Amino acid sequence: MKDDLLHGGSLDRMREAFPYAPKPWVDLSTGINPWPYPVSPFPSDTLQHLPTQTAYHHCQSVMANAIGASSDTLVLAPGSELLIRLLPRIISPRRVVVLQPSYGDHAQVWRAAGREVIETHDPMSLANTADAVVLCNPNNPDGRLFDPSELKALRRELAKRGGWLIVDEAYAELTPDLSLAQYGGEPGLIVLRSFGKFFGLAGLRLGAMFAPDKILAEMTNLLGVWPVSGLALEVGAQAYADHAWQADMRNRLEEGRKRLDLILREVGFRHVQGTNLFRFVSCEDAHGVWQQLAKAGIYVRRFPWSEEHLRFGLPADEAAEARLRAALSPSA
């Protein structure tokens, strides 16, 4: 399996690897909303000058208000991926327990930093010997949910020993009641948020970290003077302020997920689970199914650690749904 095809979003490489696949490609390889936020016109000078502190603080405040947090408990960044990679330069846990399966870069980054990494399906059971526990809520790729009360208790236990609970909430807009961002600033808690997935604008590169003051100050220093583009600040403020769009989109994503579930169950996939932005399925010869779909011009997510699982993003329209159904049919 080529590394450049392990992650989603590499549509350019898929076109090279499968040059005879039907076009246009149907890209279901990411958990990014296929119905992006409709960006309103923005001032023409947004891209002509350096991002201002006023714009930064405005986006920061609007985001905090939408999430129900205090604006002084977060820093903005060009996506949560960079924050994940910078964390080992700020905190120094020796033993890091990481939920498995989960977003692979968490374990990779801590292991590359020379820390002992323990990957487990039950991070709670190892918390008493951990210096940090890392998990996603909702989890990627299987959609597993963690109860906030259990996570708050875990945070308290870790904080007593100077440890850390790191929660990646990249998909938290789907289940806002489960978020710990409102507790940002409490000892031992770091929460990461991503803008692009729910709002469907991943290329904008906008994310945030909620953490205690000292951690925020050190991250701010690492990110530099202009960490987020003026355009990202403008669009982020627009989108986070549009509460009606967010509520409507949650309903639309649920309906889209139900339609996708029907397709996946029709062809016999087992254990269909996940979130309203992606579905995680079990099947025989997952890599073979991945190849079959790729030859039909449909790009889904496969995993190096399993030959029995695939992940499907939401098709954007009826035509994409029809192509997926046809490509998965026994006669395909």
Q: How far is Cα 212 from Cα 188, in angstroms, rounded to an integer?
A: 8
Q: What are phi and psi of 137, to 5 degrees?
A: -145, 105
Q: Which pLDDT tens digit goes with each residue over 2-33?
A: 544 556 888 999 999 999 999 999 999 999 99
Query: Which residue range(s) make up the domain with 260?
Result: 3-31+245-328
- Could you give the angle at the alpha carbon of 323 between the alpha carbons of 322 and 326, nearest 5°? 85
Residue 226 within any structural domain of the chain: yes
Q: Which two tokens stand for residue 258?
A: 């139900």
Same domain, 231 and 260: no
The last residue of one of the domains, among 198, 223, 241, is: 241
Q: Which pLDDT tens digit goes with each residue over 85-132?
A: 999 999 999 999 999 999 999 999 999 999 999 999 999 999 999 999
pLDDT in tens, the chain (332 residues): 454 455 688 899 999 999 999 999 999 999 999 999 999 998 888 999 999 999 999 999 999 999 999 999 999 999 999 999 999 999 999 999 999 999 999 999 999 999 999 999 999 999 999 999 999 999 999 999 999 999 999 999 999 999 999 999 999 999 999 999 999 999 999 999 999 999 999 999 999 999 999 999 999 999 999 999 999 999 999 999 999 999 999 999 999 999 999 999 999 898 999 999 999 999 989 999 999 999 999 999 999 889 999 999 999 999 999 999 999 987 65
Q: How far is CA 232 from the centre of its chain?
A: 17
Q: What is the pLDDT of residue 29?
A: 96
Same domain, 164 and 223: yes
**Closest by alpha carbon to 293, among 25, 3, 31, 32?**
25
Same domain, 278 and 148: no
The CATH number for 319's domain is: 3.90.1150.10
Q: Which two tokens stand for residue 153?
A: 């208790």
Q: Which two tokens stand for residue 42?
A: 């923005």
Taking CA atoms, 215 is separated from 20, 129, 201, in Å, by: 50, 23, 27
Q: How far is CA 246 from the centre of its chain?
A: 17
Whether the predicted model's global pTM rises above the 0.85 cut = yes
* Size (the chain), residues: 332
The CATH number for 121's domain is: 3.40.640.10
